[in-house]
Structure 1
Amino acid sequence: MIRSIGLQAAQEQKRGQYDIRTRHRDADGNPRFVNHLIRESSPYLLQHAHNPVKWRSWDAGALQLAKEQNKPVFLSVGYSTCHWCHVMEEESFDDLQVAEHLNRNFIAIKLDREQRPDLDELYMTALQIIRGSGGWPMSLFLTPQGAPFFGGTYYNKAQFIEVLQQVHLLWQEEQAELMQQADQLLAQVKGYLEPVLKPQQPDPQLPEMLSQHLLKLQDQEHGGFGQAPKFPQEPYLLFLLDQVARDVQCPLPHNPLWRMLSGALDAMLQGGLYDQVGGGFHRYAVDPGWQVPHFEKMLYNQAQLVRVYAQAFALSGNPEYRRLAVETLAYVSTEMRDAQGLFFSASDADSEGEEGLFYIWRHTELKMLLEPAEFELLTRCYAITEQGNFEGRLVLNLQSDLRACADRLQVPYPELVERLARIRQILYRHRALRQPPLTDHKVITEWNSMMIAAYAEAARLLDEPDYYDIARQAATTLLAVHRRESGALWRLSLGGQGSEEALLEDYAHLLDALLRLYDVAQDPQWLQQAMTLYCALMEQYWDKEQGGFFVSGKQVSGPLPVRSKNVADSATVCGNGLMLTVLQELQDRTGEWLLRDKINTQLRTFAASVNQAPLSSPMLVKGIVHRQQGSAQGLQYGAGGALWARLQWRGVQANGEQRLQLTIRGRSPFYIDPRQVTAVHYGSDQRPEAIPLSLGNTVNDPAATVWEWTWTLSLPHTQGAGLKVGVTVRACNADRCHTPEQLVLVCWPLADP
């Protein structure tokens, strides 16, 4: 194992596998310094392997050294595509004067937050208590026991040297007080991340409470939530999509939650947050109007926003939402996918030492590259000015969505999309000649699983079977590379070599991905894989005393002062929130009744927390609504997963009625008693109205393994509202028939693009 060999031997073994980043080189160009990070596989840690700082990775040995030498720990947390991490690296960590202070008075530890998000969560919570805010790079000072007592984020060189001097002086003169302060702070962190709450039931008003919070938080002028910097806030968007889908009585234009949701989606697709040339989303916008992004691209943003836009298209039929989902998936397939079908983590904000240089344009450059008619069309759809919107240059922003642009230009929407696609391809090819930003090639289980789920869901919602093939290949490879012989998961891999114990989020999102794959093809292998994974998760992460899941497993490497059981969503969906829905969906599809106890325990364990702060846990609220009301989709399972029903909108008939297709499939050893199939339509007043079903010649072949029936339904026009159909079915096998059960399916008429 590379961690057991010497530094020079490790450097030689790694030769050519990473970019050497240091200005301290000998006459032959070789780095003058090498530290313990050369033994690591993380691209971020390897960026610092040749700093003059004597960095160590997070392990018990580093803290033991701090105890033996009675020195405080300086902990620096960042990630490979973080712009300000690069700045602090260049200004301070590769500087001899700073290195002298750190090496003499501290034990310096460097941590990759993407490799160890459990530790990042712990220390970010501490920093937020200390400073009221946080960010990366995170710069913390710890006791030799790992308890934090002071910290900040980015410091320039002069500030950092002053902080180092002050902390060293305090450690020499007031060490006992600092130790006491650190213990008190760690106790606060533990109270937040390991809450001991009395089990209770969730407040029935939680969805309304959270919706009202979001209505107050929304930026009514620019769309989205809050002020600059503006993040997509995908967990909020996914909660709102679920709420809108359930309110079938209310036409979308009249639904305040839809107006809030679509306002955010429209603003993001028009602004610079979206890469208008190459597709895909940047991490956040630096201004309230979404014009200028922070240019790094994270895999988790692509995955979550694809699902958001695909679901929004399924509700509204807005072709712009479909376009964004399709273009983002094309970007991921082209630029963030390796030869084995797995997905890279991120691309950097910087190239040639300048933030955003790869993505921005000069007015004269655009005019030179395009024919006059092409440039004119670009200026009529995009906000093109000579002065630019970013340091004299341009981040491309649409003036409006392309439907409105097509109306303004009196051009059919498909024609405009095609013409602009040709222009974008010209710009894309020219941009490809520039030096590209760094790509972080590590494969993270959590984020890959999110991307697999996005491809699978897009395959179903957008009716694009090729997306399922991409998702299937990625899932197969991920399970082969990241699952160990014990059944446990690695968190990440690089070059096909797994490392680091997986966390709850890795398991939760992979389970979600396997269920999304099953929903597309009903291939039983995905359910089998999910149940195997669930058993491994329960063994290592379930809290047998109080319920709920720990973020870290029993076998976590290195010291961990706090074992979190957090339920707050952040830039991604948290594991405990997602697991409430995953457990319910796993039970629906497998009929495994033992899951009911875990579902109820998960619900009661975190109810007190979410009752107090629903705004922090939108996905947990979504899971609670699922438990209370069932799923609000056009795909439902019955008879313990032995049958499924799907409702799909198929257009408007000449008489103005909606035409829908209802499909019910049963698998051996179950079949459906055709005499026990009825359907009702819940109209705008929610009163059930019977729907006649023409069964035709239904034959049950005892030798068959699958039975399938399809009906065409005609329903009254609902003027933009949703359609809700209840189907009562009775599943039977050779011995008996189950009690009839009703499956309630929701479908939204797609607008004519």
Structure 2
Amino acid sequence: MPNQLIHETSPYLLQHAHNPVDWYPWGEVALQKAKAENKPILVSIGYSACHWCHVMERESFENKQIATLMNEHLICIKVDREERPDVDAIYMESLQAMGVRGGWPLNVFLMPDAQPFYGGTYFPPQNWANLVVSIKRAFDENYDKLQESAEGFTQNMLFKESEKYGLQADEELVFSEEELVTIFNRIRVDFDYEKGGMNRAPKFPMPSIWKFLLRYYATTKDERALQHLGLTLDRLALGGIYDILGGGWTRYSTDEDWKVPHFEKMLYDNGQLVSVYAEAYALTKDHLYKERVAQTIEWLEREMTSPEGGFYSALDADSEGEEGKFYIWKKKEIDYLLAEQAEEFNQAFNITEAGNWEHGNNILHLEERLWGVDNNKWDKMFGVLMAERDKRIQPGLDDKILCSWNGLMLKGLVDAYRYINEPKFLRIALNNAHFIKEKMTASVLTEDGKEARGLWHNYKNGKATLVAYLEDYASVIDAYTALYQVTFDEQWLKEAEMLADYTLANFYDAEDEFFYFTDSQGEELIARKKELFDNVVPASNSIMATNLYNLGLILDRQDFLSISKLMLNKMKKLVLTEVQWLTNWATLATQFVKPTAEVAIVGAESLNVRAILDETYAPNKVYVGTAEVSDLPLLQHRTAKNGETMIYVCYDKACQLPTSDITKALELMR
């Protein structure tokens, strides 16, 4: 018989719906049951593409004897961390406070009032069974001590971030070029100068670090940054972490060579990497980067796009119960499929009988570019292998649609269109933007009777069910602001402004001067957290600070600018000392070293002029534009002249003489 998860829409929860464990989804039913029966709660958190989550399910949660123990001693709650990042963040922080390294599956034991007292990640089956028994014994025999411990872990989460990290603003926000160099010198200590990326394994793509290097180089022209960026982007583009047949990056590399991937593909990685590679192409005009962007967007359109225009969340690492089976090759398969061309292919990709990985399996991995060869020949070989691979059983698709990840991918598409100027990229972007606006946005009235726009976090089977988090607002506002700047369609600017106003009304903590992760209208948990530190995905607060800065310039919203500057000001000391986890804040800092150009383009050719301007990489700017007239502050009283499209370059609302000469405009923007 199915358990209580059978009524959920999350693919991860549905994977567990037929376990013999009496799982409940997170919610009042399970929490009240724990109080009524006075039992400890197990909160087990994972996601659909998580390999070790699948392993623990097979070993323990599908084991009837272990399930019987769990059902007898615990109230068992399953959580999809991608649907409930708020719950995940709280219990991940509690686990780390216990001195345990976090990861997924995340298994945390709570008192009946939902306060945590013990936890861990993956447990082998016998260890897990023993732990369940021990937890119940401790709960029965040492209840008061466990309650005291749980209250201590909870109390630790209630400190304001400013208090916890000693965050104070200087009298005035100033970032010098020397301070930027200091930031770069701190982060480069951890570079892997031989293999790219950071000097550790496993190796994760860290898009916000590479974006910082791009913006740092644009500001300082420090060749050291460009050299390491090129090495890293090459390795990410050629290594096994990139699916050279089908497009798209996998989650991370298990080794230091970017060779052996952890095979799941996540939407959020690919959205950000498309942005980074598009920007890198704008700077370097390196054709490899352009190819990777285009191929990844082809994968997105082919495998990850819903009929309505939303983007799915992930492809699993496993197929047929085996990690990576869909992607790996035996030498004899390649020899048969490629015939007389096999030898050349095998040599380039180090394909051997013994395998370049394990169990005689080979991963498609390049050590260097395929220089000086006929690209059509290689494309034909890739096509043959791709056709054969398509006959295999596909990895599982997590087909829930998450607003935040769609925002990241939408921004990637906009950046790809901005710098590569392929109309198809804009078509896909607009389709997705309309999907978010129509299916994942709700109109609400504020207390003073004004219209506001609120988002939903998730969407599946025609409905959205979860109130959005700050990460949703941050990434969608960023994407809409960027979309306006390549289309000059003011509906996207209006949406971005309304969403930003909503976050200020419902997420902003005026006392701490940062944004909460959860909506004041949402569910009340044991703690209301803030996300300050950038990781694989930048912190929602760092994205919001950037959004408010750019929107503040475009809309002349001094309230937006003041809050943005205050947030960065309070983070400055940490950025100067702990930059590896604050690189998106550091990227915003690059916009304060030199003034941000406010570029207004007026006339019938405004969109074409924008495209030509973007052929030169100059990221520290905002655009506004119109074919005729607009009420936007930067466009008021600005017109075309004698039928010529005019470019107005301004700094802090002080404008240079308008020009129709693009070369002259670029000089003014420098």
For normalisation by structure 1, the TM-score amounts to 0.79
CA apart distance, 1:285: 0.8
User: Where does residue 425 of structure 1 map in the other structure?
Assistant: 383
The yes-or-no answer on 1:199 pairing with 2:168 is yes
The yes-or-no answer on 1:151 pairing with 2:112 is no
Q: Is the 8 A contact 1:665 1:709 kept in 2?
A: no
User: Where does residue 194 of structure 2 map in the other structure?
Assistant: 221
- Cα distance change on mapping 1:315 and 1:639 into 2, 3 Å: closer
User: Where does residue 411 of structure 2 map in the other structure?
Assistant: 453
- Cα distance change on mapping 1:587 and 1:94 into 2, 3 Å: same
User: Where does residue 355 of structure 2 map in the other structure?
Assistant: 388
Separation in structure 1 between the aligned mates of residue 226 and residue 352 of structure 2, nearest angstrom: 33
The number of equivalent residue pairs is 634
Can you list the C-alpha shifts for 1:224-273, whole angstroms capped at 9, x where unaligned?
Answer: 1132211011121111111112124x5xxxx1111222221111111100
- Cα distance change on mapping 1:671 and 1:88 into 2, 3 Å: closer
Q: Following superposition of structure 1 onto structure 2, how do residues 271-286 of structure 1 map, counting pairs within 5 Å?
A: 271-286=239-254
Pick the aligned partner of 1:568 from 495, 516, 533.
533
User: Where does residue 70 of structure 2 map in the other structure?
Assistant: 102
- Cα distance change on mapping 1:147 and 1:484 into 2, 3 Å: same
SS at match of 2:519: coil
The yes-or-no answer on 1:267 pairing with 2:225 is no
Separation in structure 2 between the aligned mates of residue 476 and residue 440 of structure 1, nearest angstrom: 22
User: Where does residue 467 of structure 2 map in the other structure?
Assistant: 501
The yes-or-no answer on 1:50 pairing with 2:18 is yes
CA apart distance, 1:496: 2.2
The amino acid that maps onto 1:376 is E
User: Where does residue 557 of structure 2 map in the other structure?
Assistant: 592
User: Structure 1: which 5+ residue stretches go unaligned?
Assistant: 1-32, 653-662, 678-697, 712-726, 733-740, 747-753
The amino acid that maps onto 2:89 is E
SS at match of 1:51: coil
Pick the aligned partner of 2:669 from 715, 721, 745.
745
Q: Is the 8 A contact 2:600 2:625 kept in 1?
A: no
Q: Is the 8 A contact 1:228 1:286 kept in 2?
A: yes
Moved more, 451-460 or 167-176: 167-176
Pick the aligned partner of 1:65 from 16, 26, 33.
33
Separation in structure 2 between the aligned mates of residue 79 and residue 212 of structure 1, nearest angstrom: 36
User: Where does residue 206 of structure 2 map in the other structure?
Assistant: 233
CA RMSD of aligned residues (A): 3.1
Pick the aligned partner of 1:485 from 433, 443, 446.
443
Q: Is the 8 A contact 1:671 1:700 kept in 2?
A: no
Can you list the C-alpha shifts for 1:636-656, whole angstroms capped at 9, x where unaligned?
Answer: 43599xx9985847999xxxx
The amino acid that maps onto 2:348 is C
Separation in structure 2 between the aligned mates of residue 397 and residue 488 of structure 1, nearest angstrom: 44
Q: Following superposition of structure 1 onto structure 2, how do residues 278-677 of structure 1 map, counting pairs within 5 Å?
A: 278-372=246-340, 374-391=341-358, 392-402=360-370, 405-406=371-372, 411=373, 416-486=374-444, 487-557=453-523, 559-607=524-572, 609-610=574-575, 613-631=578-596, 636-637=598-599, 646=610, 648=612, 668=629
Can you list the C-alpha shifts for 1:485-519, whole angstroms capped at 9, x where unaligned?
Answer: 32211101012211111000100100111011112
Q: Is the 8 A contact 1:209 1:614 kept in 2?
A: no
Can you list the C-alpha shifts for 1:609-634, whole angstroms capped at 9, x where unaligned?
Answer: 54553322111121133244344xxx
Separation in structure 1 between the aligned mates of residue 199 and residue 92 of structure 2, nearest angstrom: 21
The amino acid that maps onto 1:709 is M
Q: Is the 8 A contact 1:269 1:401 kept in 2?
A: no
Separation in structure 2 between the aligned mates of residue 151 and residue 699 of structure 1, nearest angstrom: 65
- Cα distance change on mapping 1:623 and 1:354 into 2, 3 Å: same
CA apart distance, 1:598: 2.2
Separation in structure 1 between the aligned mates of residue 647 and residue 169 of structure 2, nearest angstrom: 44
The amino acid that maps onto 1:200 is A
Separation in structure 2 between the aligned mates of residue 728 and residue 590 of structure 1, nearest angstrom: 16
Q: Is the 8 A contact 2:488 2:624 kept in 1?
A: no
User: Where does residue 749 of structure 1 map in the other structure?
Assistant: none
User: Where does residue 656 of structure 2 map in the other structure?
Assistant: 729
Separation in structure 2 between the aligned mates of residue 672 and residue 39 of structure 1, nearest angstrom: 50
- Cα distance change on mapping 1:319 and 1:742 into 2, 3 Å: closer
Separation in structure 1 between the aligned mates of residue 168 and residue 594 of structure 2, nearest angstrom: 21
Separation in structure 2 between the aligned mates of residue 115 and residue 160 of structure 1, nearest angstrom: 26
Moved more, 205-214 or 152-161: 205-214
- Cα distance change on mapping 1:578 and 1:743 into 2, 3 Å: farther
Can you list the C-alpha shifts for 1:142-193, whole angstroms capped at 9, x where unaligned?
Answer: 1122222211111111110111122222112222111111222223334486
Q: Is the 8 A contact 1:292 1:395 kept in 2?
A: yes
- Cα distance change on mapping 1:214 and 1:615 into 2, 3 Å: same
Separation in structure 2 between the aligned mates of residue 115 and residue 432 of structure 1, nearest angstrom: 30
CA apart distance, 1:358: 0.4
- Cα distance change on mapping 1:339 and 1:127 into 2, 3 Å: same
Q: Is the 8 A contact 2:207 2:276 kept in 1?
A: yes
Pick the aligned partner of 2:641 from 673, 677, 700.
700
- Cα distance change on mapping 1:350 and 1:195 into 2, 3 Å: farther
Separation in structure 2 between the aligned mates of residue 172 and residue 664 of structure 1, nearest angstrom: 65
CA apart distance, 1:107: 1.1
Separation in structure 2 between the aligned mates of residue 190 and residue 422 of structure 1, nearest angstrom: 58
Separation in structure 2 between the aligned mates of residue 468 and residue 569 of structure 1, nearest angstrom: 28
Q: Following superposition of structure 1 onto structure 2, how do residues 172-187 of structure 1 map, counting pairs within 5 Å?
A: 172-187=140-155
Quick one: percent identity of the two aligned structures?
Answer: 33
SS at match of 1:497: coil
Q: Is the 8 A contact 1:195 1:565 kept in 2?
A: no
- Cα distance change on mapping 1:731 and 1:143 into 2, 3 Å: farther
Q: Is the 8 A contact 2:549 2:565 kept in 1?
A: no
CA apart distance, 1:61: 3.3
User: Structure 2: which 5+ residue stretches go unaligned?
Assistant: 445-452, 617-622, 649-653, 660-664
Q: Is the 8 A contact 2:554 2:624 kept in 1?
A: no
Q: Is the 8 A contact 1:76 1:139 kept in 2?
A: yes
CA apart distance, 1:597: 2.5
User: Where does residue 15 of structure 1 map in the other structure?
Assistant: none
CA apart distance, 1:206: 5.2
Separation in structure 2 between the aligned mates of residue 672 and residue 478 of structure 1, nearest angstrom: 27
The amino acid that maps onto 1:227 is R
Structure with max Cα Rg: 1
SS at match of 1:120: helix
SS at match of 2:247: coil
Q: Is the 8 A contact 2:254 2:260 kept in 1?
A: yes
CA apart distance, 1:605: 4.3
Separation in structure 1 between the aligned mates of residue 24 and residue 572 of structure 2, nearest angstrom: 40
The amino acid that maps onto 1:729 is Q
SS at match of 2:526: coil
- Cα distance change on mapping 1:180 and 1:281 into 2, 3 Å: same
Separation in structure 1 between the aligned mates of residue 269 and residue 245 of structure 2, nearest angstrom: 17
CA apart distance, 1:731: 7.2
SS at match of 2:42: strand
For normalisation by structure 2, the TM-score amounts to 0.88
SS at match of 1:498: coil
- Cα distance change on mapping 1:637 and 1:261 into 2, 3 Å: same
